[in-house]
Amino acid sequence: MKVLFVCLGNICRSPTAEGVFRRAVEQAGMADTIEIDSCGVGNWHVGKAPDARAQQAALRRGIDLSALRARQLQEHDFIEFDYVLGMDQDNLRAIHDLKPGNNRAQVGLFLDYAGTPGAEVPDPYYGGEEGFENVLNMIEAASDGLIQHLKRGL
């Protein structure tokens, strides 16, 4: 099972989702069955490590994002991944625009798995530190929900 998290720049929300979900998967004993990656719909930050604020917020919860590097969503991702999950409605539109006709990927919003269908993880880039804490709280809840969903399908 392969899960891809998608945001705009791949330096704030989706790398946070990658790190938080990876830890949740490890804690659930599912690391051998679930592969995780993240990317952005834009290319401005390709090759960069996650935003320093995102790294610091994640580290406060014991999650190290420093090795991650931004990349852009590609058509091939829809062949490779089972789930392609956007953080907000703009991401979701961009994902659908790139999605080829023939593929197996399930496309949706990450927060659909937090029991709040249609809800968005808000972009923290232009805000303060509390925005990054808010993102982490939402992503932790959605990660637990996604694990329960995937367990039902295994």
Query: CA-to-CA distance for 47 and 32, rounded, in angstroms?
Result: 27
| Residue 109 is a binding residue for ligand 4NP (CB under 6 A) | no
Size of the site for ligand 4NP (CB under 6 A): 11
Three-state DSSP class for residue 110: helix
Q: Which is nearer to ligand 4NP, 44 or 104 (CB)?
A: 44
Cβ atoms 146, 135 nearer than 8 A: no
1 secondary structure, DSSP code: -
| Residue 11 is a binding residue for ligand 4NP (CB under 6 A) | yes
Phi, psi angles (nearest 5°) of residue 3? -120, 130
Residue 39 annotated to the active site: no
At position 11, the amino acid (one-letter code) is I
Q: Which is nearer to ligand 4NP, 94 or 150 (CB)?
A: 94
Phi, psi angles (nearest 5°) of residue 4? -120, 125
Question: In this chain, which stretch among 7-15, 30-38, 75-83, 144-152 interacts with ligand 4NP, using CB under 6 A?
Answer: 7-15
| Least spacing, CB of residue 15 vs ligand 4NP, in Å | 7
| Residue 125 is a binding residue for ligand 4NP (CB under 6 A) | yes
Three-state DSSP class for residue 33: coil
Residue 13 annotated to the active site: yes
Which residues of this chain interact with ligand 4NP, rule CB under 6 A?
Answer: 7-13, 40, 44, 123, 125
